[in-house]
């Protein structure tokens, strides 16, 4: 690594000193799969090891490439499976950090795919939504960030070509519904997603919430989650193709609580992995 490439030699969020040895670990990456949970990232890494490299589970122990405990990164073939925590603030730091690292490691042809969970709007639990454009909770299709006291807005269109390639890689007999539409990145899981089951009693009532849901659906938004705006905004500015594949855990027109059984939730988590894996295998093999 040459000194002129960066003015940082320590990446705080992942507690990593940059030197030839650490940067080398991140060479040869094309696909970056991002999930909130570190455990789910490890599971995906194991599945990919088996499918791409033919390595059985008992012979493969994914190794976290980050020394810190906040985020994790597991590498398998040309895929990096990283965790990003919860919410726009968390994923933003991870996106910057991982992009610095991947660029230092001379990866120039990258694709970022967030593989997540969400609350659906008027679609069956267990459906998959691939995001076209991410909306803020005020129903504007951009990401607003305050820099030096000034509000700045950034476009939040995901990479359509990447989303289309992912859709095209799915078999015709996929046993769940796949939608291509918009998503909304909320500020939190409770009032930020118009719930009634948080600790603070909301001032809105069911009728007001229904009106909000209708305004959301009128914009072609299929699901609530908490990171898509920043993913799109950051990747647009960094010129990295990015999209999001999210499974819905419930239909928010019916429920606030996630009532799916442990088996159903495990099945939903597998679905979203399967969609990403179908794409990566289609490209890699």
Footprint on this chain of ligand URA (rule: CB under 6 A) = 117-119, 189, 193, 224-226, 249-250
The answer for residues whose C-beta is within 8 angstroms of residue 141's C-beta and 6 or more apart is 133, 134, 135, 155, 156, 157, 182, 219
Q: How many residues bind ligand R2B (CB under 6 A)?
A: 9
> Which C-beta is closer to ligand URA: that of 75 or that of 273?
273
Out of ligand R2B, ligand URA, none, what residue 193 binds, judged by CB under 5 to 8 A for its kind, is ligand URA
Out of ligand URA, ligand R2B, none, what residue 224 binds, judged by CB under 5 to 8 A for its kind, is ligand URA
Q: What angle separates helix 262-284 from helix 38-53, to the nearest 10 degrees? A: 40
The answer for residues whose C-beta is within 8 angstroms of residue 233's C-beta and 6 or more apart is 134, 142, 143, 145, 154, 155, 156
**From the list 180, 227, 247, 275, which residue makes contact with ligand R2B (rule: CB under 6 A)?**
227
Neighbours of 262 (CB within 10 A): 7
**Phi, psi dihedrals of residue 153, rounded to the nearest 5°:** -115, 145
Q: How far is the CB of 230 from ligand URA (least distance, A)?
A: 14
**From the list 116, 120, 126, 241, which residue makes contact with ligand R2B (rule: CB under 6 A)?**
116
Percentage helix, strand, coil for the chain under 3-state DSSP, each rounded to 5: 35, 25, 40
Phi-psi sector, 139: left (phi>0), alpha (psi -120 to 50), beta: left
Binding mask 76-115 for ligand R2B (x = CB under 6 A): ----------x-----------------------------
**From the list 14, 36, 82, 230, which residue makes contact with ligand R2B (rule: CB under 6 A)?**
36
Residues numbered 168-197 forming contacts with ligand R2B, rule: CB under 6 A: 189
CA quadruple 232, 233, 235, 239: dihedral sign: positive
Q: How far is the CB of 118 from ligand R2B (least distance, A)?
A: 6
226 touches ligand R2B by CB under 6 A: yes
The answer for residues whose C-beta is within 8 angstroms of residue 208's C-beta and 6 or more apart is none
Burial of residue 114 (number of CB atoms within 10 Å: 0-12, 13-18, 19+): buried
User: What would the two tokens of residue 92 be?
Assistant: 């933003």
> Which C-beta is closer to ligand URA: that of 119 or that of 137?
119
137 touches ligand R2B by CB under 6 A: no
> Which C-beta is closer to ligand URA: that of 48 or that of 186?
186
Which among 18, 14, 21, 16 is positioned nearest to 3, based on CA atoms? 18
118 touches ligand R2B by CB under 6 A: yes
> Which C-beta is closer to ligand URA: that of 189 or that of 196?
189
Q: How far is the CB of 111 from ligand URA (least distance, A)?
A: 23
35 touches ligand R2B by CB under 6 A: no
DSSP string of 94-111, one letter each residue? HHHHHHHHHHHTT--S-E
The stretch among 66-74, 154-162, 222-230, 268-276 that binds ligand R2B (CB under 6 A) is 222-230
The 3-state DSSP class for residue 58 equals helix
Report the chain's terminal Cα–Cα distance, integer Å. Answer: 31
Q: How far is the CB of 71 from ligand R2B (least distance, A)?
A: 13
Binding site for ligand R2B (CB under 6 A): 36, 86, 116-118, 189, 225-227
């Amino acid at each position: 690594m040459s000194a002129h490439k960066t003015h940082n030699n320590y990446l705080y969020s992942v507690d990593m000193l940059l030197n030839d040895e650490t940067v080398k670990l991140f060479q040869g990456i094309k696909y970056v799969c991002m999930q909130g949970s570190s455990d789910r990232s490890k599971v995906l890494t194991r599945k990919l090891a088996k499918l791409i490299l033919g390595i059985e589970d008992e012979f493969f122990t994914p190794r976290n490439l980050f020394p810190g405990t906040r985020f994790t990164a597991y590498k398998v073939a040309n895929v990096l499976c990283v965790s990003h925590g919860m919410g726009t603030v968390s994923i933003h730091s991870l996106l910057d950090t991982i992009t610095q690292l991947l660029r230092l490691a001379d990866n120039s042809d990258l694709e970022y795919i967030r593989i997540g969970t969400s609350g659906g709007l008027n679609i069956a639990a267990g459906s998959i939504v691939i995001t076209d454009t991410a909306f803020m909770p005020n129903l504007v299709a951009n990401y607003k960030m305050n820099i030096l006291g000034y509000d700045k807005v950034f476009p939040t269109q995901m990479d359509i070509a990447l989303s289309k390639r992912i859709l095209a890689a799915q078999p015709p007999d996929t046993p769940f519904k796949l939608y291509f539409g918009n998503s909304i990145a909320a500020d939190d899981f409770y009032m930020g997603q118009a719930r009634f089951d948080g600790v603070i009693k909301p001032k809105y009532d069911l009728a007001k919430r229904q009106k909000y849901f209708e305004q959301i659906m009128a914009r072609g938004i299929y699901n609530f989650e908490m990171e898509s705006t920043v993913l799109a905004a950051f990747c647009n500015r960094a010129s990295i193709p990015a999209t999001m594949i999210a499974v819905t855990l419930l239909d928010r027109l019916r429920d606030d609580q996630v009532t799916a059984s442990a088996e159903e939730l495990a099945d939903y988590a597998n679905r979203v992995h399967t969609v990403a894996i179908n794409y990566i295998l289609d490209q890699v093999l």
